[in-house]
């Protein structure tokens, strides 16, 4: 299930795309299907091994256009091993809320994006996330869990100013182009989990709602698509922001 709208991102066949914090690879797979030259980047070697296997399976099954390429790369979000302006499109979906030095990560995302390229960042939306934190300390205190809750304004401000570097140097200014919300059906599930225990997968209410989400993901029924369109703007779990890097970018 995608969080980022690829049409809004503007991805075209043959373009180079970085999926930073790729995790299980859902956005990287979609970019590959669309004919991009994809790099799935993460610090989890096991996740990347599975993503690499799926890339190979997709190619073997004929699911990708001729000329599309895909690879994985392990590393640190604060020191991306790529050249300045190497990518046409960059995605960072549900990543920044895990990173203490988020402004440094933002600078790196902008650095590797070419002038004229586009960037999509998604994070947990403020209200659904606040409710989860209020209901359960375990929800956000887990190792590697969420360490902050963003407001729309805060994250837009950090990105449009190119991050606020710890050393006080200016970052490359970005142009904010719009936002959307996603996964409205998922917020109630996490409220339930936070209320009954985030590790209690056997709770009847959590199990029942999880079956609903599996139905949504696997079958994408019309009823749930309609429900999502209504709920996404109201309680969508994810905030998605879109930015463009000016053709004449200021120095970073």
Mutual angle of helices 204-219 and 222-235, in 10-degree steps: 110
Per-residue pLDDT at 163: 63
pLDDT digits (tens, 9 = 90+) for 34-68: 999 999 999 999 999 999 999 999 999 999 999 99
Per-residue pLDDT at 115: 96
Domain borders along the chain are 6-125+132-183+237-244
How many Cβ atoms sit within 10 Å of the Cβ of residue 7? Answer: 8
Give the span between the Cα atoms of 123 and 181, in whole angstroms: 10
Give the span between the Cα atoms of 226 and 81, in whole angstroms: 42
Q: Is the dihedral of CA 132, 136, 137, 138 positive or negative?
A: negative
- Residue with tokens 């304004």, as numbered in its chain: 153
Per-residue pLDDT at 130: 97
Per-residue pLDDT at 127: 97
pLDDT digits (tens, 9 = 90+) for 56-108: 999 999 999 999 999 999 999 999 999 999 999 999 999 999 999 999 999 99
Per-residue pLDDT at 51: 98
Per-residue pLDDT at 1: 86
Per-residue pLDDT at 70: 98
Q: Exposed (0-12), middle (13-18) or buried (19+): which is 33, by Cβ within 10 Å? A: middle
Given CATH 3.30.930.10, say whether it is the number of domain 6-125+132-183+237-244: no
Give the span between the Cα atoms of 101 and 220, in whole angstroms: 37
For the chain, residues with pLDDT lower than 50 are: 251-252
């Amino acid at each position: 299930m995608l969080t980022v709208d690829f049409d809004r991102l503007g991805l075209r066949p043959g373009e180079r795309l970085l999926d930073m914090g790729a995790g299980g690879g859902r956005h990287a797979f979609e970019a590959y299907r669309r004919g991009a030259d994809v790099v799935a980047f993460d610090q989890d070697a096991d996740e990347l091994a599975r993503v690499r296997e799926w890339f190979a399976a997709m190619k073997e099954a004929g699911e990708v256009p001729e000329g599309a390429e895909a690879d994985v790369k392990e590393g640190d979000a604060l020191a991306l091993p790529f050249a300045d302006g190497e990518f046409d499109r960059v995605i960072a979906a549900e990543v920044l809320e895990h990173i203490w030095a988020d402004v440094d990560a933002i600078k790196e995302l902008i650095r590797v994006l070419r002038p004229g390229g586009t960037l999509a960042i998604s994070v947990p939306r403020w209200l659904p996330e606040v409710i989860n934190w209020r209901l359960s300390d375990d929800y956000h205190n887990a190792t590697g869990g969420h360490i902050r809750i963003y407001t729309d304004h805060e994250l837009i401000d950090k990105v449009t100013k190119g991050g606020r570097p710890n050393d006080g140097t200016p970052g490359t200014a970005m142009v904010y182009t719009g936002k959307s919300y996603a996964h409205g059906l998922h917020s109630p599930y996490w409220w339930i989990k936070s209320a009954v225990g985030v590790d209690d997968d056997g709770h009847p209410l959590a199990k029942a709602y999880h079956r609903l989400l599996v139905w949504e993901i696997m079958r994408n029924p019309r009823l749930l698509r309609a429900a999502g369109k209504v709920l996404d703007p109201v309680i969508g779990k994810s905030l998605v922001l879109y930015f463009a890097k000016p053709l004449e970018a200021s120095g970073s």
